[in-house]
Amino acid sequence: MEISVIVWGVDTKGERFVQETRAREISLSGALLSNLNIELRPGDIVGILYANKKARFRVVWIRLNDGSQKVQAAVHRIDPDICPWQQLLCEEGAITTP
């Protein structure tokens, strides 16, 4: 499953950014962001907005997409923030609510 999200934060140069991108391999704890135009480092904190719900995530690792200057970043949700795509995962049957 792949969804469109808004990511914001501060890049490696200390500049604020906001970018629409794609998230895949989504779970309650994280996702893989692709086609980012910004430079990030592992440990950076970013915000992600999906369906009018937002949460903070920590960058776990980054890498360049094959053959481009776009960046992929694996992110992990920071507790106690609630996963913004939790409802989507419930609807898809990927998780069940308690």
Check residue 64 and give its pLDDT. 84
Burial per residue of 59-72, b for 16 or more beta-carbon CB atoms within 10 angstroms, e otherwise: beebeeeeeeeebb
Q: Is residue 20 part of a domain?
A: yes
List the CATH number of the domain containing 7: 2.40.10.220
> How many distinct structural domains can be found in the chain?
1
Per-residue pLDDT 10s for the chain (98 aa) are: 899 999 999 999 999 999 999 999 999 999 999 999 999 999 999 999 999 999 999 999 999 876 677 899 999 999 999 999 999 998 877 665 44
CA nearest to 19, candidates 41, 42, 40, 43:
40
Q: Is residue 98 part of a domain?
A: no
Which residue range is the domain that position 25 belongs to? 2-92
Q: Taking the model in full, what pTM does it have?
A: 0.89
DSSP 68: S
Cα separation, 94 vs 90, in Å, equals 6
